[in-house]
């Protein structure tokens, strides 16, 4: 991670102890860390529409901003696609829509992306976003998200 200190600052100053942030910078980091925690600590066992929303919201927000280069946007999109795909496979598997054999043959038994590298790509993009928008940007909390 290139922007660890910036991410640490966002976490301490923009992310609430519980619930959604009231600013965009904090909410972006909060959502990303919810995705990381679900994969690394829970193996995506709780994957649901909230996590899907996080992937889409992060991608849409970061990749439509003017602060990231095309390469950074591509890296963010690719990272979030892999994270989201693993979660979707887990949901299908847990719902009995993918057999053990299919999971092994088609998905290499990958139910969650647990390495830090892809999450860190997105954290760095959030930090770049923050460095270009240091004043909190108001975020309207989504009433449909309970995570």
Q: For residue range 60-115, list pLDDT tens digits in order.
A: 999 999 999 999 999 999 999 999 999 999 999 999 999 999 888 988 888 899 99
- How far does Cα 111 stand from its chain's mean position? 16
Task: Please state at what angle helix 117-132 crosses helix 24-42, rounded to 10 degrees.
Answer: 170
Domain-wise residue ranges, the chain: 21-132
Query: For residue 35, how many other CB atoms are within 10 A of its CB?
Result: 26
Instruction: Locate 44 and state its tokens.
Output: 């995506």
The structure's pTM equals: 0.95
> Angle between the 24-42 and 49-64 helix axes, to the nearest 10 degrees?
130
Q: What would the pLDDT profile of 17-73 be if each residue is shown by its tens digit?
A: 999 999 999 999 999 999 999 999 999 999 999 999 999 999 999 999 999 999 999
């Amino acid at each position: 991670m290139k922007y660890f200190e910036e991410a640490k600052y966002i976490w301490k100053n923009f992310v609430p102890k519980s619930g959604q942030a009231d600013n965009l910078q904090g909410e972006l980091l909060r959502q990303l860390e919810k995705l990381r925690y679900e994969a690394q600590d829970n193996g995506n066992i709780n994957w649901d529409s909230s996590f899907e929303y996080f992937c889409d919201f992060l991608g849409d927000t970061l990749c439509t901003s003017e602060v990231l280069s095309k390469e950074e946007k591509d890296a963010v999109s690719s990272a979030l696609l892999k994270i989201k795909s693993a979660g979707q496979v887990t949901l299908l598997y847990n719902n009995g829509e993918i057999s053990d054999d299919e999971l092994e043959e088609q998905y290499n038994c990958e139910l969650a992306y647990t390495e830090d590298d892809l999450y860190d790509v997105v954290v760095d993009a959030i930090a770049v976003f923050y460095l270009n928008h240091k004043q909190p940007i108001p975020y309207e909390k989504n009433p449909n998200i309970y995570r």
